Amino acid sequence: MTRRTAVLSTCLMVAGGITQVRAQAVLLRVTPPVGQATHYRSVTESWMQIPGMPAGDSTKPTMTQTLFTTRTVTGMDGTARIITSVVDSSRQDMGAMGGMGGMGGDMLRGMTTTQHVDPRGNVLSTEVTPPPGAPPMMAQAMRQGGAVARGAAVMPERAVQPGESWTDSMTIPIGAGQQTVFRVTYKLERVERQGGARAAVVSWQGTVRSDSAATPGAAGTMTGQLALDLDAGRLISSSMEMRITAETPQGAMPIRSKTTMQTLP
């Protein structure tokens, strides 16, 4: 093989490799059809250290919450999907807080969350309807939690290849001069088959801060990963861990939470 032939062959191989990589680029979109219903199981474990209280066993969660939900695409609003999630059953294991009354049992059954979600996964609006008979303080907490709800991830504007990253930031006002700010960097890790579905695996890491103009609130970091069904346009699974320090009148209160969600048959 002459030197010229070898160089030409190398160039062709490189060009072929570039074509192959480019062919892997995918457009990540949350576009489930109207009528699609998906069942999920999610588990959230939380650890917190209340200022002035003795430190407990750090290996055991302060509270564990398990939710079984049905998420249904109930309509369209322009290009956004209207997605309604209903809690079919719930369980709260209070751990070290087990003695606190009114906090256990299936207290979230029937809670309904309606969201408008655009094709990139941006949550445009959230409305939470507490379950029937929920105590007023609990109902208020549910509505406030819905006010800062966001999707599992915000997808990039263009098609991306495995290994590519993109960033997103969002500021959400939550009333009384308070706001929550998210700044996140995402990365498409790979595209693979999961249970017959073509799934995009996306990881992320970022920061979250909630405060007011007058006083600091809470700040910390978040990491996570999800699998998106590229054909059905829906979430297959996700996991997220948050580490936050909340400022209280009694002092700093570290909080850690870990949430995993998985589709059910």
Does residue 114 belong to any structural domain of this protein?
Answer: yes
Rg (CA), the chain: 22
The span from the CA of 246 to the CA of 256, in Å, is: 11
pLDDT tens, N- to C-terminus, the chain (265 residues): 454 444 444 443 444 433 333 347 999 999 999 999 999 999 999 998 877 666 666 678 989 999 999 999 999 999 999 999 999 999 999 765 554 444 456 889 999 999 999 999 999 999 999 998 888 888 887 777 666 566 679 999 999 999 999 999 988 776 667 788 899 999 999 999 998 899 999 999 999 998 765 556 789 999 999 999 999 999 999 999 999 998 887 788 899 999 999 999 8
The span from the CA of 98 to the CA of 104, in Å, is: 8
Secondary structure (H, E, C), 240-253: EEEEEEEEECCEEE
Q: What CATH number has the domain bearing residue 92?
A: 2.30.230
Give me the residue label for tokens 């892997």: 24
Does residue 6 belong to any structural domain of this protein?
Answer: no
Does residue 201 belong to any structural domain of this protein?
Answer: yes
254: nearest Cα among 39, 46, 85, 98: 46
Does residue 15 belong to any structural domain of this protein?
Answer: no
Task: Say whether pTM exceeds 0.85.
Answer: no
Does residue 206 belong to any structural domain of this protein?
Answer: yes
Does residue 70 belong to any structural domain of this protein?
Answer: yes
Does residue 12 belong to any structural domain of this protein?
Answer: no
Does residue 199 belong to any structural domain of this protein?
Answer: yes
73: nearest Cα among 119, 107, 121, 115: 115
Instruction: State the residue range of the domain holding 76.
Output: 27-264
